[in-house]
Amino acid sequence: MLDGMDCLFCRIVAGTIPAKKVFEDELTVAIQDINPQAPVHVLVIPKKHVASLAETDAGDKELLGHLLEAVRELGAEQKLGKGYRVVINTGPDGGQTVEHLHLHLIGGRAMHWPPG
């Protein structure tokens, strides 16, 4: 497991790496993705370091619910009333490239299936 000095998202949360924040509260920060896949592509990141969804446990239920509530609020704020996609990549085969749990809020265009 990475510590805060090694984790990209922990450094963004700490403010040592700049990012375009679009939302922040006591448990989460949301930033614009630097490689957007749609007109709206926001990463919702817990301030607490959790490596991936697979690393959560029953004690993380409140945090996981809070992340989804932040996504819902951002979806409304970003005017995504026609719909959006929420993605959690987990592990290397799931496409996770940063070992810190984060949710992708993707919208502003029609999504297609299968995703990839």
- Answer yes or no: 41 catalytic: no
**Residue 99: which residues within 8 A CB-CB, separation 6 or more?**
1, 2, 7, 51, 52
In angstroms, rounded to a whole number, what is the distance separating the alpha carbons of residues 101 and 63? 11
Does residue 87 contact residue 103 with C-beta atoms inside 8 Å? yes
Choose, from 41, 100, 102, 104, the residue flagged as catalytic.
102
Q: Which residues contact 80 (CB under 8 A, 6 or more apart)?
A: 40, 105, 107, 108
Q: What is the H or E stretch that residue 67 is in?
A: helix 61-77
* Catalytic center residues: 102
